[in-house]
A = this chain, B = another copy of it.
């Protein structure tokens, strides 16, 4: 399908999804995901092959997730975010350990090898940050203490998951753990975060603002400057091995402190929400292959339960311990349920090196689909209480 018709179809799907969501008072993202999945699978059913879109759609979707996280960063309340740093790290750590152990044990219990079980455990560790960000923005709680906890936890959990992934890859490829490589990764991450922390210091913000306040800039150019900063941070995040969206998120936090950029959030949310972000979620929905459900067995069901329970209890308990009330702890647990991101790397790598089989791969796929689809509704239910 060509460039223009691909975009038109995806955008129409997004509009339909949004209006369905609104009718049943669900978050917009749920409708986008489901209509996307519906179109993708109907097409698959009729044509026996995947709906082929022009590559351009993937580029636009990638920009979409960057805009989403950039927007999340811009609307974050940095003071709350900093206050909650230790809690986030604690919650994230618990929320990685528990699902990892549950996944690992489930793998061993079903007679898969030690290495396959490690893969299964790892596939449950990292949260998909996009779903949360979208819902937190929609409900306007990105700037609250809870919003800060959820976003902070998602960032830390991405870092921990990348460390585990780095270890796994080095074992798979060389048979040994290279402390050296992991050490370098950690040092780079620390430098990256340190630069981000310095740039977001109040003194630096005031200094930057005092220099920028004389500059008159048109809104189009302000948007361009914002996008350049976001993409530059994404580039560096990717270069050191983090996800690019973490870079866009951090760029958002930094610019969000500056008076000069105070209209930026407004522009970014329009450009993102009115074009790129719905393309992202509809195409995510389209990538869900419901055929995987046909072979769903006991293993997939247990893996799914491990995924849900692991984050719910891991993060929920973590939040409770660090002093959040029941509703917020539950919300933090629910928000961490969706997975997507490193799983694709894991599945490809695992299949390539014959560490996992098709059954495990499709169980992970089912887990990704269901956790992503149930979260919006569950989270909005908890938050509306």
Interface of A toward B, CB cutoff 8 Å: 3-5, 7-8, 11-12, 14-15, 18, 55-56, 59-60, 62, 219-225, 227-228, 231-232, 234-235, 238, 244, 267, 269-271, 273-275, 278
Query: Would you call B11 and A244 a contact (CB within 8 A)?
Result: no
Chain B nearest Cβ from A250, distance in angstroms? 15
Chain B nearest Cβ from A1, distance in angstroms? 11
Alpha-carbon separation in the docked complex, A224 to B228 (Å): 24
Chain B nearest Cβ from A176, distance in angstroms? 30
Query: Would you call B219 and A270 a contact (CB within 8 A)?
Result: yes
Identical chains bound together, number: 2
Alpha-carbon separation in the docked complex, A7 to B227 (Å): 9
Closest chain B residue to A7, Cβ basis: B231
Closest chain B residue to A18, Cβ basis: B221
Q: Which residues of B contact A59 (CB under 8 A)?
A: 3, 55-56, 59-60
Q: List 8 A-B contacts (CB under 8 A).
A: A4-B235, A7-B231, A55-B55, A56-B59, A219-B270, A223-B274, A224-B274, A227-B274
Given contacts A15-B225, A59-B56, A221-B18, contact A275 B271 (CB under 8 A): yes
Alpha-carbon separation in the docked complex, A15 to B235 (Å): 19
Given contacts A56-B56, A231-B8, A278-B224, contact A62 B271 (CB under 8 A): no
Q: Which residues of B contact A14 (CB under 8 A)?
A: 224
